[in-house]
A and B are shown apart, each in its own frame.
Chain A
Amino acid sequence: MTKSAFESYEKVYWAKSKPIGFVFSFCSLMGLAVGATMVYQLLHMDVTFHLPAYALLMSIGYQRQRLEMIVFTEGLILSCLGFPLAWLVGAFLCGLVVSYTSLPMILSPQMVVTTFLLILFMCSTSAMLAMGKIKDADPADLFQ
């Protein structure tokens, strides 16, 4: 058995045959779901708070798609602003685990890029769900 084949065997063994592998994967998925929910809540609240402003923009001729793009852009900005901080905290925690347990944990560039893409996916999905709230903005309500 070559060294790389042994490494692959070990990874599969720990990821699929041991409970720790399942727990780790489950926690990652939970993190993604909780993150998506939080971003959705944040954007939903933001849209709700600004509904009169969206209604006003619709009354002066802004198309609904343009307003939806504003929410989508907010989601992308959130992901871009949140990622550097998450990366720093992740790298710090990773270093902490390495120093306490001597486990060979490496935050590779590939993992960093994958994580960023997952965050982008998470935030854009949440933003698309939050966009639905814009339909509640009725410019006729401004004539009250």
Chain B
Amino acid sequence: MNSVHDVANPSVLAVGLNHFYGDGPERMHVLKDICFEVQPGEFVTLAGPSGCGKSTLLTLIGGLKSVQSGSLDVLGCSLKGCSPSLLNGLRTKIGMIFQSHHLMEFLTANQNVQVATEAVIDRSFRARELRCLELLASVGLKDRANHYPSMLSGGQKQRVAFARALACNPQLIVADEPTAALDAKTGRDVVAILRSIAKERSISIVMATHDPRVMDMADRVIGIDDGRLLAPA
């Protein structure tokens, strides 16, 4: 465990969290009585098969869906009944990484990272550009800053997505199967980069994966199956 953990103020605290899709007889109970917490600077992996509720849990933590039942506090903000503007503000403190990189093909790597800084960082264009170059350098892509996504490999694109997630100085990173489209070595390499940057800056990471090649890199692995958290082995 990381020494910077602040047990009194966890980054994520879920108590009795439930989530449903649909209505009436077709209503599906996708998250069942979820209770867990993630400490500041901690790297937690949510591991489980496809369709077990990992992505739904991440969308709730990321403030992208409203909490229906139970309580969920993220970065000190209770998401139950939270207003859209508060959720929007919260999202500027969370870096999100998706299975697909979702880079904008018409922007260079540097511009793709800058897009994330425009929403939150009140600095001049030049200052933001320099910060984005620093971030690209931190993921080993300084020399690719002016390349378009079509000129980058899969691993490089995912690293640009990591730099974009870090651009808003997040306190929490939510990652959904970021290694799914990468080969074993590249997958481990990009997660190692993310892990070292997060540890350096005390950023919590919640990463959903069913990739056993990267699970051992987390501080803690939380199993999830059929919408329920599994007891630690």
Chain A positions near chain B (C-beta within 8 angstroms): 52-53, 56-63, 138-140, 142-144
Question: Within the complex, what minimum Cβ distance (angstroms) separates A18 from chain B?
Answer: 53
Say yes or no for B52: interface residue by CB 8 A criterion.
Answer: no
Given A142-B98, A144-B55: A60 and B104 interface contact (C-beta under 8 Å):
no
Interface residues on B, range: 20 to 34
Which of B69-77, B114-122, B217-225 is found at the contact surface with chain A?
B114-122
CB <8 Å contact, B119 and A61? yes
Contact A61 B120 (CB under 8 A): yes
Residues in B neighbouring A62, C-beta threshold 8 A: 119
Q: For the complex of A and B, list the 9 residue pairs with the smallest distance between their C-beta atoms, beginning with the closest.
A: A61-B92, A61-B119, A140-B64, A143-B55, A140-B59, A61-B91, A143-B176, A139-B64, A142-B98
Tell me if B80 counts as interface (CB < 8 A to partner A).
no
| A60–B88 CB distance below 8 A | no
Tell me how far the C-beta of B56 lies from the nearest C-beta in chain A, rounded to whole angstroms.
8
Q: How far is it, in angstroms, between the C-alpha of A38 and the C-alpha of B39 when the chains are bound? A: 53
Q: Which residues of B contact A52 (CB under 8 A)?
A: 102
> Are A61 and B168 touching (Cβ within 8 A)?
yes
Q: Which residue of A lies closest to B177 (CB)?
A: A143
Other 10 A-B pairs with CB < 8 A, given A62-B119, A138-B64: A53-B104, A56-B102, A60-B164, A61-B91, A61-B119, A140-B64, A140-B65, A143-B55, A143-B59, A144-B99
Q: Are A143 and B64 in contact (CB under 8 A)?
A: yes
Is the beta-carbon distance between A60 and B119 smaller than 8 angstroms? Answer: yes
Interfacial residues, chain B to chain A (CB-CB below 8 A): 55-56, 58-59, 62, 64-65, 85, 88-89, 91-92, 96, 98-100, 102, 104, 115-116, 119-120, 164, 168, 176
Q: Which residues of A contact B102 (CB under 8 A)?
A: 52-53, 56, 142
The CA-CA distance from A138 to B64 in the complex, in Å, is 8
A57 and B120 contact, CB distance less than 8 A: no
Chain B residues, CB < 8 A from A60: 91-92, 96, 115-116, 119, 164, 168
A55 to B96 Cα, complex, angstroms: 12
B89 touches A61 (CB 8 A): yes
Residues of B within 8 A of A143 (CB): 55-56, 58-59, 62, 64, 98-99, 176
* Residues of B contacting A58 in the complex (Cβ-Cβ under 8 angstroms): 91
**Of all chain A residues, which has the CB nearest B117?**
A60
Instruction: Determine the chain B residues whose CB is within 8 A of the CB of A142 once the complex forms.
Output: 96, 98, 100, 102
Q: Check B115–A59 contact: CB distance below 8 A.
A: no
On chain A, the residues within 8 Å of B64 by CB distance are 59, 138-140, 143
- List 7 A–B pairs whose Cβ atoms lie within 8 Å, in order of A's numbering: A52-B102, A53-B102, A58-B91, A59-B62, A142-B96, A143-B56, A143-B176
Q: What CA separation (Å) do A142 and B164 show in the bound complex?
A: 15
Q: A59–B88 contact, CB under 8 A?
A: no
Chain B residues positioned under 8 Å from A56 (CB to CB): 102, 104
> Whose C-beta in chain B lies nearest to the C-beta of A61?
B92
Please, how many angstroms separate the alpha-carbon atoms of A62 and B85 in the complex? 10
In the complex, chain A residues whose CB is within 8 Å of the CB of B58: 143
B residues less than 8 Å from A140 (CB atoms): 59, 64-65
List chain B residues, Cβ under 8 A from A63. Answer: 85, 88
CA–CA, A117 to B82, complex, Å? Answer: 43
Roughly how many angstroms separate A74 CA and B18 CA in the complex, as a whole number? 42
A53 to B85 alpha-carbon distance, docked (Å): 20
